[in-house]
Amino acid sequence: MRNRVVLVLIILLVLTTLVWRQFFFIVTETDQAIILQFGDPVRIIVDPGLGWKTPFIQNVIFFEKRILSSDAEPQEYLTADKKRLVIDHVTRWRIVDPLVFFKAVRTELGARARLDDIVFSELREELAKVPYIDVVAEERG
């Protein structure tokens, strides 16, 4: 009899936890969230705390609030005097508006790929204007 009561309590606890997770979610201080209903954004949550959603109709996507970094593979560039440089760059960025971010790139992986393309292009364009000696000189200005 006692074993049955314990088993029933464990089953109820598991079921309660599963049901709770279908209705509620937690947004941490380092996250922001978008609630999607059938794939379309319906609500944005940027403040930490407990949130709710409609089970099976809505789902939640979390994005980082913190500064993110993208460390791309080193690339070879040509300077104005046609000398080769290999540059390894690191890009630091953060998601300011989760809705715009979601509509533009959907995921951090998509954003990293897009940022790498932009940075590679801009570096190539700028380095093509400058002679090698100006790039490697210690003087900044």
pTM for the complete prediction? 0.81
pLDDT tens digit sequence for 97-140: 999 999 999 999 999 999 999 999 999 999 999 999 998 887 76
> Structurally, how many domains does the chain consist of?
2
Domain end: 46, 65, 84, which one?
A: 65
Band of residue 2 on the pLDDT scale cut at 50, 70, 90: confident
* Nearest alpha-carbon partner for 35 in 13, 14, 55: 55
Could you list the residue range(s) of the whole structural domain that residue 78 is in?
Answer: 67-141
Distances (CA, A) of 32 to 14, 39, 59, 63, 111: 28, 17, 14, 5, 16
The string of DSSP letters for 13-35 reads: HHHHHHHHHHHEEEE-TTEEEEE
Length, in residues, of the chain: 141
Percent of the chain with pLDDT over 70: 99
User: Both 79 and 44 in a single domain?
Assistant: no
User: Both 54 and 77 in a single domain?
Assistant: no
pLDDT tens digit sequence for 90-106: 999 999 999 999 999 99
Q: Which residue has the tokens 């400058």?
A: 130
User: Both 25 and 89 in a single domain?
Assistant: no
